């Protein structure tokens, strides 16, 4: 069995393996960044570091996640492609749903032609699709480089 945290982004439900989830917290307004990538909403503090807050709706081409009383921030620990270093990002979600317990055979694959690289499969729940993320593939190498530049610029201020 594998455990996945599910969360809503605009009108879609996504799931991420709980091993990547560091914390779930109430939405907080991020600190603005001068040179930002479209999907970066700003920066927030997490423990002893500053991390980017990702507008997940924009990243997934679903439209912007607008902050509401149900909005949450999910802190994820991710692996850089081809490197041993990990990094943390905060992702905005309209709401956290629940934790799914799934066996590998319950995940359905999506034809490669229609599947974004960061979706590893789907699960059908109550007549709706849950898109299961491969969180280490959500951000391209260029995305990570841009986030690193923004964080470095923020440290200089």
pLDDT digits (tens, 9 = 90+) for 111-124: 666 667 788 888 88
Tell me the percentage of the chain whose pLDDT exceeds 90: 50
Whole-number pLDDT of residue 36:
73
Question: What span, in angstroms and rounded, lies between the C-alpha atoms of 96 and 72?
Answer: 7
Tell me the percentage of the chain whose pLDDT exceeds 70: 95
Whole-number pLDDT of residue 112:
64
Label residue 48 exposed, middle or buried (CB < 10 Å: 0-12, 13-18, 19+).
Answer: exposed
Q: Give the CATH fold of the 2-156 domain.
A: OB fold (Dihydrolipoamide Acetyltransferase, E2P) (2.40.50)
Q: In the chain, what are the domain boundaries?
A: 2-156
Q: In 62-107, which ranges are E strands?
A: 72-79, 86-93, 95-102
| Encoded tokens for 3 | 């455990």
Encode pLDDT of 72-117 as tens digits. 999 999 987 667 778 999 999 999 988 989 887 888 887 666 667 7
- Could you tell me the strand order of the sheet in which 12-17 lies? 95-102, 2-9, 12-17, 128-133, 119-125
Tell me if residue 104 falls in helix, strand or coil.
Answer: helix
Question: What span, in angstroms and rounded, lies between the C-alpha atoms of 107 and 97?
Answer: 18
Tell me if residue 75 falls in helix, strand or coil.
Answer: strand
Whole-number pLDDT of residue 104:
75
Q: What CA–CA distances, in Å, run from 83 to 60, 86, 87, 136, 144? A: 24, 8, 11, 11, 12
pTM confidence score: 0.89
Whole-number pLDDT of residue 85:
79
Average pLDDT over every residue of 21-45? 91
């Amino acid at each position: 069995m594998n455990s996945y945290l599910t969360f809503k982004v605009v009108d879609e439900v996504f799931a991420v393996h709980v091993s990547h989830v560091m914390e779930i917290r109430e939405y907080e307004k991020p600190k603005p960044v001068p040179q930002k990538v479209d999907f970066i909403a700003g920066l927030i503090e997490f423990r002893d570091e500053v991390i980017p807050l990702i507008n997940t709706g924009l990243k997934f081409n679903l439209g912007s996640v607008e902050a509401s009383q149900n909005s949450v921030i999910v802190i994820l620990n991710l692996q850089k492609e081809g490197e041993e270093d990990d990094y943390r990002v905060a992702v905005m979600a309209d709401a956290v749903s629940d934790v799914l317990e799934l066996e590998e055979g319950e995940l359905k694959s999506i034809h490669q032609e229609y599947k974004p690289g960061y979706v590893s499969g789907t699960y059908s729940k109550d007549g709706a699709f849950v898109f299961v993320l491969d969180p280490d593939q959500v951000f391209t190498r260029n995305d990570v480089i841009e986030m690193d530049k923004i964080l470095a610029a923020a440290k200089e201020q």
